[in-house]
Amino acid sequence: MKEYLDISDINNLHEIIDEAISLKKAPYSFEELGKHKTIGLLFFNSSLRTRLSTQKAAQQLGMHCIVINFGADAWGLEFEDGTVMNGSTTEHIKEAAAVISQYCDIIAIRAFPTLTDKEKDLSEHVLNNFKKYGSVPIVNMESATAHPLQALADAITITELKKTAKPKVVLSWAPHPKALPHAVANSFTKMMQRMDVDFVITHPEGYELNPEVTKDTPIVYDQEEAFKDADFIYVKNWSNYKEYGKVVNNDPSWTISNKQMAVTNNAKFMHCLPVRRNVIVADEVIDSDASVVIEQANNRTYSAQVVLKRILEHLK
C-alpha cells in the first residue's frame, strides 16, 4: 500500500480484514518491520482514539512516533498560493510539508472540514497539500470527507461479530446540537458497499449524504421501517449536506432508545465515539449488551496497524 487516503486504497478487503484479525492475535509479530522508522501524527483537531490507537499500532510495529497539535503548538499554516503573508499565518505548507518529510517516514493527518466552504472541503485541501508538498506516504486520520481508519475498524468489528453470512446493517442519523462532519458516514457507507451485507441508510428527509457516495444504497426515511430485522445499527450524526453544514433538524425521536432497538434482530449498537449520551443514544442502549462501541474502538489499533504494516512493506 502506497498511502491511505481513502478506502479505495485497499485492494483486497477480505485479505486486509483477515490480516488485521491475525495482528490482533499476535500484535508484536512484526516489531522489526518499523525499526528506525518514524511516523509523525499531525492534528488540526481533537482526538482520543485515533491519536492513541495509531501510536499504539506504530509502536507495536517497532516505529517511533512524534505528535504535533497544529491547533495549539505549531505555527499557523498558510495553504494559499501567492499570499502576502502579513496576516495571521506564519509558515507556508510548502516548507512545512517538506520539512516534516525530513523527519518522518510516514505522515498521518487529522484535518476536519470547515463545514462552511463546501468546495474547499470537497477538495481535501489540507490532505492534498501535504501530499503535494511532502515527499512521504500520507495516512488519513479523518479528513474533511473521509475517515478510512474508522471504516476499516468497523469492517473488522462486523466481520468478527456477524452471526449470518450476509447481515443487515443500518446506518442511522441521530440528532446532535452541533454541526458535525460527513466523514465517518461517508467512509462507513463506502465500506458497506464493498462488504457482503444488506446495507440501508436512514435519516430525516433532506439529510441525504453526497449522492456520489451513497450511489444506489437504499435510503429509508422511516427509521423504524429501516431498523426491522437489522443485525447492526451504526449511528452517527452529520450536518446537512445540501444546506451545507447547517443543523436543520434536531428531532429527538431519532435518538436511539430501546424502542428503536426492539424491532431489530437483537442488533448490535455501533458508534465511532465520542458520543453524546441521551442525545445520540439513550443510556439504556449504550449501557446494554447490545453495545459494541468499546470492541469497535479496540479495533482501531488493528486497523491502523495493518495499514501501517502495508505502507512499511511498500517503503522497503
Ligand X SMILES: NCCC[C@H](NC(=O)CCC(=O)O)C(=O)O
DSSP category for residue 7: G
**Residue 124, C-alpha cell as written in the block:** 481535501
Q: What is the DSSP string of 82-124?
A: T----SS--EEHHHHHHHHHHH-SEEEEE----SS-HHHHHTT
Q: Would you give the distance in Å from CA 223 to the centre of its chain?
A: 23
Radius of gyration of the chain (CA): 20
Residues from 103 through 142 that contact ligand X (CB under 6 A): 142
Q: Which three cell numbers stand for residue 173?
A: 442519523
Asked if 65 is part of the footprint of ligand X (rule: CB under 6 A), the reply reads: no
d(CA 187, CA 249): 23
- Residue 96 or 297: the one with the smaller Cβ distance to ligand X is 297
Enumerate binding residues for ligand CP (CB under 6 A): 47-50, 142, 150, 272-274
CA distances from 119 to 18, 20, 76, 114, 221 (A): 37, 35, 22, 10, 27
Among positions 255-274, residues that touch ligand X (CB under 6 A) are: 272, 274
What 3-state class would DSSP assign to 162?
coil
Annotated binding site for N(2)-succinyl-L-ornithine: 142, 176, 236, 276
163 scored as a contact of ligand X (CB under 6 A): no
Measure the CA–CA gap between 218 and 221, rounded to whole angstroms: 10
Give whichever of 206 and 274 is closer to ligand CP, judged by the CB atom.
274
**From the CB of 142, what's the least distance to ligand X, in Å?**
5
Report the residue number, 218 or 274, with the smaller CB distance to ligand CP: 274
Least distance between ligand CP and beta carbon 53 (Å): 8
Residue closer to ligand X by CB (options 170, 180) is: 180
Say whether residue 178 binds ligand X (CB under 6 A). Answer: yes
Minimum CB separation of residue 81 from ligand CP in Å reads 31
Of 160, 276, 295, 315, the one binding ligand X (CB under 6 A) is 276
Minimum Å distance from CB 218 to ligand X?
23
Question: Interface with ligand X includes 304 (CB under 6 A)?
Answer: no
Please report whether residue 286 would count as binding ligand X according to CB under 6 A: no
Q: Decide: 63 and 30 in contact? Cβ < 8 Å.
A: no
Our CB check for ligand X shows the closer of 51 and 131 to be 51
Q: How many CA atoms does the CB half-sphere of 31 hold within 13 Å?
A: 7
- Which stretches of the chain bind ligand X, using CB under 6 A? 142, 178, 180-181, 183-184, 272, 274, 276
